[in-house]
Each structure stands twice: as structure tokens, then as C-alpha cells.
Amino acid sequence: MEKLQYISQGITRQEQELNIRKALDNGIKWVQIRWKNALENELVDFCEITKQLCSEYQSICIINDHVQLARTIDADGVHLGLNDGSIEEARITLGENKIIGGTANTLSDVLQRMKEPCDYIGLGPLRFTSTKEKLSPILGFEGYQEIIDKLHEKSVVIPKIFAIGGVSLEDIQLLQQIGIYGVAVSGQITNQPTLINEFKKAMIYA
């Protein structure tokens, strides 16, 4: 599984498409389409085009929240927030071969996601981010360390956890030392897509 995921950003369709294209041009291999204020018909059309674009770049394309839409356009999977519906139902709808990720904010959330089970867990936020409304309590590095330590205490295999929420290139080394598998980044990649290669290098050699 890829260790770097780009969460799309943009208020308008034009902004979304431009940002995704820039990320793909700079080597991103996993895009999560996240466009919260889109009209339904516009979102369907945009997701179809983006899925095709990602296929051309041999990149994974998953959709935030919309399980039925992911099935309709044959996306590679979905990412579900804590209030976005059940992982189990999404698995029934999408089948065994699709990627299903789930958000978590606490140890109990992580344990719930492991039980459900999902393919990866988006744990956060690391710090404050303006790209997400209704932000969960901020974890900081200490919060990640505490959750990983408690998982070790329970002698469970650490799942594929992605740090989310205000993650930047400078955070990679410490996050991986803590035991975090990967990162999902929105703001810094949107603003500086040329950093994608630096992210990849940091994650490979950390």
C-alpha cells in the first residue's frame, strides 16, 4: 500500500481538477477525492473524470464518504469518517477487493476500526488544519505516541495508520519513528505539489 495519500482540495470544480492534475503530474500515486460542497450531479461527473485521469497515471483513486458513488464509477475505494456509515456495509457494497479506510481520533476509535475491519486508518488531526470543518480534538505527536504505546501494551499488530490533519514534510521522520505507517496530506501538497517527491524520499529512507 502506498504511504502517501493526497486529499484533494478546492472550492470549485476547476480548483479541484487543477490541484489533482498538479499532484498527479508531480508523481502522486494515491488521490482521495474530497469535495464537500459539491452538487451531487457535478460530483458524479467530476469523480468519473478523476477516476479515468488517475487510471492514466496508474494512481489509486478513492472517494471520501460516498460509497454508492464509488461503486457506480468503479473507484478503487472509499474513506469513511466516524459518522459516514459503517465499514461493514461499505464492504458489502464494494466487495473484498476495494480499499476502505476509516477515520479515527482516539484509541477506542482505532480499536473499533481494527475490529470492523478497514484496510487503513486515518488517525488525527496531528495539528490544527483549516481544510476540514468540525475538527476533532488535536492529537499532536504525543497523542500518536500514546495510542501506539497502548496498542503495543495490548500486544496487537499495529495496523496501517495514516497521520492526517495539518501534516507537513518536516513531520515524516518523527511520525515514522513513532510507528505511523503513512500520511494523508492536503494543504502542503496543494500549495507545493513539487514537494511530493521529497515526501516519498523521506518516507522511504526514514
Average pLDDT over residues 76-80: 98
Q: How is the chain split into domains, by residue range?
A: 4-205
Instruction: State residue 132's pLDDT score.
Output: 60
Q: For the domain covering 4-205, report its CATH number.
A: 3.20.20.70
The percentage of the chain sitting over the pLDDT mark of 90, rounded to a whole number, equals 91
Checking DSSP bridges between strand 4-7 and strand 182-185, what pairing results, if any? parallel
Q: Rounded CA gap, 15 and 37, in Å?
A: 13
Q: For the chain, what is the mean pLDDT?
A: 95
Is pLDDT at 206 greater than 60 in this prediction? no
The model's pTM: 0.95
Asked if 144 and 162 touch (Cβ cutoff 8 Å), the reply is no
Q: Rounded CA gap, 126 and 185, in Å?
A: 11
Q: SS3 of 129, please?
A: coil
Q: Rounded CA gap, 128 and 147, in Å?
A: 19
Is pLDDT at 130 greater than 90 in this prediction? no
